[in-house]
Structure 1
Amino acid sequence: MTNNNKTDDSSYIYRIDKSDNLSYLSDNWSEFALANDAIAMSVPHLILGKSLWSFIADHDTRYIYTLVLTEVRKTLEPAVISINCDSPELQRVFQITMTAMDDGAVEFSSTVVEIRQREYIKILDASVIRSEDIVKICSFCKKIAVSDGKWVETAEAIRVLNFFGNITIPQLSHGVCPDCFASITAEMDYPKLM
């Protein structure tokens, strides 16, 4: 693996050390964080040294990342996952390659593989006022749970859950839909807890 610190404008790199603390951010990290309304994550000296787990709130997503990191460190084979990093007016698909390094560190290289414009989707706008209601959104594909076990695309969820009839938009809680869980863990040997 080449440890080249340069990235093109559509690739973002961060590394965690063997204790899962952030140890490196690519030069374009701050710009990317600001463009995605992640102001608190845009200042490297405020996040370097912090645990990766302090940025992942929900159990399901933590579990997936724990499985993947364990597998990468054990096999020394890179793992590649796709993740949607959507904004209210853009659909962005990233490919994240996680590569073990010699010292137990892991490098995450996120590359934009697709960007599509779309009509504004209010539920994805972090600046809107939220109700007390909570809906679960998949951390990887951005589908929304509309009932037990049923996850649908964001636009469909807006219709099914009648968000337009509500004055305020519900809060989003992250999780992992069954399709993403199955896809990401298909080749792994892991305890079947979910």
Structure 2
Amino acid sequence: MAENNTLIYYLDENNVILNTSEILAKQNICKNYFDFINDEMLKIILSRIFDSVRKKGSPFKTSYRCDNEDELRLYDLEITPMVNNILKLKHELVNTTKRATKLHFSSNSDIIFTMCAWCNKIKYRDIFIELEDAVNKMKLLEYNFLPKFSHGICPDCYTGLIKEIEEYERK
């Protein structure tokens, strides 16, 4: 993330990344933003938001969590329309909390769990629970690696986000 804790993406009318503010993310230029999202429902929701912002011509704001091995992190996301149907996505870090125990992520696993892209809860059976609870219930520390996570959206965040989108579209 950039020094000022803000990451900016510019997307064309087809949601292809035109530019970004972070050097490490430059490798994503010319790739579709949705190529980095595995969950179809999340793609549908973000696509709806992007379409609404382009149509209305006014910014849309929401918050989400994006944790790492060391910290719980809260971000604000502002999606702003620009000329020629270009969107500016501004991800701004607003709060961090240190984890009591550092997690060790690994990409060597074939096991994939669903994690909500907004609240970072993990799907356990048919419910979403906090990662710390998932560690115990799913025995995640008994693996010699941490399984992969695919981003999705939990029912609570889905309901809240749909309300945000509907309010935005009514304005």
| Alignment TM-score, normalising by the size of structure 1 | 0.76
Task: State the shift of 1:60 in Å.
Answer: 1.9
Question: Equivalent residues in 2 for 1:85-104 (5 A)?
Answer: 85-104=66-85
Task: State the shift of 1:43 in Å.
Answer: 5.5
Task: State the shift of 1:105 in Å.
Answer: 0.6
**AA partner of residue 90 (structure 1):** E
Task: State the shift of 1:182 in Å.
Answer: 1.2
Deviations 1:137-191 (A, max 9, x none): 112211001121x1111001111212234444333222111111111111435xx
**2:4 maps to what in 1?**
9
CA distance in 2, matches of 1:8, 1:164: 33
SS of the aligned residue for 1:49 comes to coil
CA distance in 2, matches of 1:55, 1:167: 26
Task: State the shift of 1:110 in Å.
Answer: 1.1
Do residues 49 (structure 1) and 44 (structure 2) align? Answer: no
Q: Match for 2:96 among 115, 121, 124?
A: 115
CA distance in 2, matches of 1:43, 1:81: 22
**1:140 maps to what in 2?**
118
CA distance in 2, matches of 1:142, 1:127: 17
**AA partner of residue 13 (structure 1):** I
**AA partner of residue 17 (structure 1):** D
**1:105 maps to what in 2?**
86
Q: 1:121 to 1:182 in 2, by over 3 A?
A: farther
Unaligned runs of 5+ residues in structure 1 are 1-6, 31-41, 190-194
SS of the aligned residue for 2:105 comes to coil
Q: Share of identical aligned residues, percent?
A: 24
SS of the aligned residue for 1:186 comes to helix
**1:176 maps to what in 2?**
153
Do residues 23 (structure 1) and 4 (structure 2) align? Answer: no
**AA partner of residue 111 (structure 1):** E
Root-mean-square deviation over aligned CA pairs = 2.0
Task: State the shift of 1:134 in Å.
Answer: 2.7
Unaligned runs of 5+ residues in structure 2 are 167-171
Deviations 1:23-63 (A, max 9, x none): 1212xx12xxxxxxxxxxx252x322221122222212211
The ranges of structure 1 where at least 4 consecutive aligned residues each deviate by more than 4 angstroms after the TM superposition are none
SS of the aligned residue for 2:96 comes to strand
Deviations 1:97-152 (A, max 9, x none): 00111210110011111011112343xx433643x43321112211001121x111
Work out the number of aligned pairs and report it: 165
CA distance in 1, matches of 2:72, 2:157: 17
**1:33 maps to what in 2?**
none
Do residues 162 (structure 1) and 139 (structure 2) align? Answer: yes
